[in-house]
Amino acid sequence: MGCDHRAFKRLSVDGYEFVPLSWVSYDDTDTLESYAGKMAVNIKESNPIILGLSFGGMLAVEIGKLIDVRHIILISSAKTKDELPEPGRLARYIVKKRLIPPFCFSIPNRLLMGLRGIVPLTERMSEFNAVSGRFMQWALKVVMEWQNTTYPENISHIHGTLDIVIPGRNVKATHTVKGGQHLMVFINAEKVNKILAGILENIK
C-alpha cells in the first residue's frame, strides 16, 4: 500500500510502456471513491489500460467507473469489500480513531510483504515505504470503510497464493501465482510478466 511506481520496475512487456501515475494530495474527508476521482483527472490517455497494485488496484476499480478504460489489471489487490480480510471490531475502532501514530506505518515490514532475505533493508525503506505514515494511516482507514460490491467487467486480477495482506481465500482472481506474496510484482516479476503478456495479448 505504501509503494510508488518503483515497485513496478521489474515489470516489462514487449510493445507496452508503463506510464506511472503519482499519488495526489488527499483530504482527511476523502473516501476511496473521491480520491479515485482526483487520480482520474491526471490520466491523459484516452481509453487507457490501467494497472493497480494493492491500494492502487482498488483505486483502479473506482477509476474504471468514472472514465472509459480499455482494461483494468489488478495485482495483489481486491475488487470489492468482500475480497478484503475482515479486520474485526477492535481493529476498526483503532483505525477509525487513529490511535496508531503515523510513524508506525513507516516502519519497514519485509516479512509481511514477503521481502525478508530478498530485498535489502535500505531498498525496502526507499521503494516500499514511499509515502508518509500519515498517508498510510488515511489509506488504511478508507480501505476499511470501502463498501464497494461492483466492478467493471473488463478486468483481470492477478493474485498470489501466499499473500497474507489480502489472503487469496476470498479473492476471485482470474490469474493465480503459486507461491506469490503481496509484492510478487517485485519478487516474482518473471511470472507476473508472463501473465501480463497473455492478458494484454487478448485485450480487444
For every residue of 122-163, which 3-state class applies, written as one string?
HHHHHHCCCCCHHHHHHHHHHHHHCCCCCCCCCEEEEEECCC
**What per-residue confidence (pLDDT) applies to 6?**
78
- What is the value of pTM for the model shown? 0.84
Question: In total, how many domains does the chain have?
Answer: 1
pLDDT of residue 102: 52
Whole-angstrom distance, CA of residue 144 vs CA of residue 90: 12
Q: Which three cell numbers stand for residue 151?
A: 466492478
Radius of gyration of the chain, Cα coordinates, nearest whole angstrom = 16
Please list the rounded mean pLDDT of every run of 10 residues in the chain (204 residues).
73 92 93 98 96 96 98 97 78 54 51 48 49 82 94 98 92 97 90 98 88
Specify the CATH number for the domain of residue 114: 3.40.50.1820
Q: What is the pLDDT, as a whole number, of residue 93?
A: 47
Residue 37: predicted pLDDT? 98
Q: Which pLDDT does position 125 carry in this prediction?
A: 45
Whole-number pLDDT of residue 66:
98
**pLDDT of the residue at 135:** 86
Contact present, 155 and 136 (Cβ < 8 Å): no
Range of the domain at 23: 5-202
For residue 12, the model assigns a pLDDT of 94
